[in-house]
Structure 1
Amino acid sequence: MTSCGNVPIFKDGRGCGSCFELKCTKPEACSGEPTIVTITDKNEEPIAAYHFDLSGHAFGTMAKKGQEQKLRDAGEVEIKFRRVKCKYPEGTKVNFHVEKGSSPNYLALVVKFLQGDGDVVAVDIKPKGKDKWIELKESWGAVWRIDTPDKLIGPFSVRYTTEGGTKTVAEDVIPEGWKPDTSYETKDL
């Protein structure tokens, strides 16, 4: 249930992970029932002021039963949309993906599966036993990074701030001996 969003939806990556309720109103194959999608990427097509490029599955869920392919074949459809809080299935944990290319002197993170706001506007890390949070910088899209001459050994706590102002701390979520291209989940927040 994913979608790309154009500039005002994707917001240079800050919109990545945000959720929207969509329902199509035209053509006839539209059910008029809402579906919720998560923004995962950017689309630069200048089709409309607000443009969603839906996955095939998400597109099909807006159709009347049995008319999914007919709706997909329509291509462009008229929709109504609104921003909603993200609701993942019970038991889904916040996920911190250490990106490929991370090393003891460079750490890049993506925060995934946030309930609620979904839009991350700040990320900080704190090594175990330290008092000071270290601010990560926006890299690109939803990637937050730090370049440092100091070795990043772990374990680290991660604090993230959402667009709504909520700050959440995941204690020691990234372990000692962390590896690039690996995801680490919260225990319970």
Structure 2
Amino acid sequence: MELHSKYQVGLVCVIMLLPALCTSQDFTSSRSTYYGSPDCYGTPRGACGYGEYGRTVNDGSVAGVSGLWKNGSGCGACYQVRCKNQQLCDEYGTYVVVTDYGQGDRTDFIMSPRAYSRMGRNPDASDELFKYGVVDVEFRRAPCKYGGYNIVFKVQEHSRFPDYIAILVLYVAGQNDITAVEVWQRNCKEWRPMRRSYGVVFDAENPPRGELMLRFQVSGRAGVYWVQSKNVIPSDWKAGAAYDSQVQLD
């Protein structure tokens, strides 16, 4: 199944956002604007901490949010956003991934140019949208789908082996938020909380030596629960490396 687009461009990432299959009008009214970008993609300096992933995920259709930020746990959430100008916009709108925090003129979404333009029903309509700057929209949460990808733990580049580790949680599918991460402390036989540094970056000073077993707390339609990784981060982990958890959410 392909990501809906009125005028196709080549996908440079693996995410596909699927709108809800029902036709119920469970949308929330809001406003949206866009930010400048020389290549129309996102920014690697987003407050979620995604780096280059946050620039190109969903072919650069990303957004900064304010009220939906949720102290960083809103990072990675997917939304269907459509503008209310029926002359310029269609019923599908655009599908965005939250990669940043941003506040505008009573806006919930500050989009990359690629995401903003995809609300238009055709290229000419999209050009008109940019002239407005801020438009009335309605939005709803949409499930994220990552074809062939499990949840991945990426060790941030500024981690220092073996004394300090910071990780990003990537490719979280469904309509789920990661609200906490813990690491198994073998000598104490207990789970040790990691600190939410910012966005979706969780870190720990003096992490346990040896292989690192992680679990993460999920908040979603099934409630709040813990999921343990089926794979470990190896004892010789490296800054910048990504490790497959071998689990995925619905």
Match of 1:71 among 126, 129, 132: 129
Amino acid at match of 1:75: G
Q: What residue ranges of structure 1 are gaps of 5+ in the alignment?
A: none
Residue 165 of structure 2 corresponds to residue 94 of structure 1: no
Q: TM-score, normalised by structure 1?
A: 0.85
Residue 97 of structure 2 corresponds to residue 38 of structure 1: yes
Q: Deviations over 1:98-154 (max 9, x none)?
A: 112212121111101101234211101226798422211111121111112xx6444
Q: Matched residues in 1 for 2:154 and 2:186: separation?
A: 19
Q: Matched residues in 1 for 2:86 and 2:95: separation?
A: 19
Aligned to 1:139: 197
Match of 2:217 among 155, 161, 174: 161
Amino acid at match of 2:218: T
Percentage of matched positions with identical amino acids: 27
Displacement, 1:188? 4.5
Residues 188 and 137 from structure 1, CA distance in 2 versus in 1: closer, same or farther, beyond 3 angstroms?
closer
Q: Is the CA contact (8 Å cut-off) linking 1:94 and 1:111 kept in structure 2?
A: yes
Amino acid at match of 1:178: W
Amino acid at match of 2:116: F
Give 1:111-150 correspondences, 5 Å limit: 111-126=169-184, 131-148=189-206
**What is the DSSP-based 3-state SS (H/G/I as helix, E as strand, rest coil) of the residue aligned with 2:129?**
helix
Q: Is the CA contact (8 Å cut-off) linking 2:141 and 2:175 kept in structure 1?
A: no
Q: Deviations over 1:70-116 (max 9, x none)?
A: 3234321110011233223x212212111122121211111011012
Aligned to 1:25: 84
Displacement, 1:66? 2.6
Give 1:148-187 correspondences, 5 Å limit: 148=206, 152-164=208-220, 165-187=224-246
Q: TM-score, normalised by structure 2?
A: 0.66
- Give the aligned CA root-mean-square deviation in angstroms: 2.2
Q: Matched residues in 1 for 2:145 and 2:177: separation?
A: 13
Q: Matched residue pairs, number?
A: 183
Q: Matched residues in 2 for 1:125 and 1:138: separation?
A: 13
Displacement, 1:41? 0.6
Q: What residue ranges of structure 2 are gaps of 5+ in the alignment?
A: 1-60
Residue 165 of structure 2 corresponds to residue 107 of structure 1: yes
